[in-house]
């Protein structure tokens, strides 16, 4: 089972529908025992990092996700879900991330407009077993962006400079954009992930 981590935040239903549209079943799961049974996890998130972090921790999901990662369970993070992989965010300095990846999330500076809303083209610079080609046009809605300390960036988007769009390492893949709202390219990415973890 692919479990979409349900902490009441984000486009949960949209992610599930998008996975279904490419032939993969997924469940919205909050229960810790059920999460431990999942063969792969999708961590969504949208809006304010502080709110997401607080809700995530209110359901005491940190240890469950960390444990899954330690056991090698594949995890896909979407938008703020991906930002939660990092240590924290400038958007809410007191709200912790999972710290699975070194680095922080910072406000984009010297950009024409905040948030970046709309379609932009991702250039893939690295490979990952779940990513497929990864190239394509995706839908972005964000003001903050991950700044990894280690070399985990797999793709960037040009928004007044190269911004992190895809990160990945063993057992983790994170995307800043919304694949569930990114038409054919987004569905390809979700399909690629679901197939790889099947």
Partner 1 sequence: MSVAKRVIACLDVRAGKVVKSVRFVDTRDVGDAIEFARRYNDEGVDELLFLDINASHERRRTAVEFAAQVADQMFIPFTVGGGIASADAAGEILRTGADKVAVNSAAVRDPALISQIAERYGSQACVLSIDARRSGAAFEVVIDGGRVTTGKDAVAWARDGVARGAGEVLLNSIDRDGTKLGFDLEMTSAISEVVDVPVIASGGASSAEDFVTLFRETGADAGLAASIFHYRELTIPDVKAAIAAAGIHVRPAEAFVRR
The structure tokens listed for 102 are 């070194």
Residue among 49 and 69 whose Cβ is closer to partner 1: 49
Q: How far is the CB of 143 from partner 1 (least distance, A)?
A: 9
Residue among 36 and 48 whose Cβ is closer to partner 1: 48
DSSP at 85: T
- Tell me if residue 180 is catalytic: yes
Q: How far is the CB of 11 from partner 1 (least distance, A)?
A: 7
Give residues in contact with partner 1 (CB under 8 A): 11, 13-14, 17-18, 21-23, 47-48, 112-113, 115-121, 137, 139-141, 158-160, 180-187
Residue among 124 and 141 whose Cβ is closer to partner 1: 141
Q: How far is the CB of 92 from partner 1 (least distance, A)?
A: 14
Backbone angles phi, psi at 70, to 5 degrees: -65, -30
**Is the bond into 44 cis (omega within 30 degrees of 0)?**
no
| Cα distance between residue 163 and residue 184, in whole Å | 22
- Tell me if residue 79 is catalytic: yes
- Tell me if residue 178 is catalytic: yes
Q: Calculate the alpha carbon distances from 69 to 35, 64, 99, 142, 172 in Å.
A: 12, 9, 12, 26, 8
List the catalytic residues.
79, 178, 180
């Amino acid at each position: 089972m692919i479990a979409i981590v349900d902490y009441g935040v984000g486009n949960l239903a949209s992610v599930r529908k998008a996975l279904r549209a490419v032939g993969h079943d997924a469940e919205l799961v909050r229960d810790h025992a059920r999460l431990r049974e999942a063969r792969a996890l999708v961590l969504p998130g949208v809006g304010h990092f502080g709110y997401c972090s607080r809700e995530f921790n209110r359901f005491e999901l940190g240890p469950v996700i960390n444990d899954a990662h330690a056991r090698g369970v594949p995890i896909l993070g979407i938008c703020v879900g991906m930002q939660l992989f990092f240590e924290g965010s400038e958007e809410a300095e007191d709200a912790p991330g999972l710290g699975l990846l070194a680095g922080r999330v910072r406000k984009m500076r010297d950009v024409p407009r905040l948030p970046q809303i709309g379609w932009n083209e991702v250039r893939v610079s690295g490979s990952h077993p779940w990513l497929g080609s990864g190239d394509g046009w995706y839908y972005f809605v964000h003001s903050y962006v991950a700044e990894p300390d280690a070399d985990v960036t797999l793709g960037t988007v040009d928004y007044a400079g190269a911004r992190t769009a895809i990160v990945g390492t063993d057992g983790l893949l994170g995307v800043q954009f919304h694949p569930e709202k990114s038409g054919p390219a987004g569905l390809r990415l979700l399909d690629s992930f679901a197939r790889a973890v099947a």
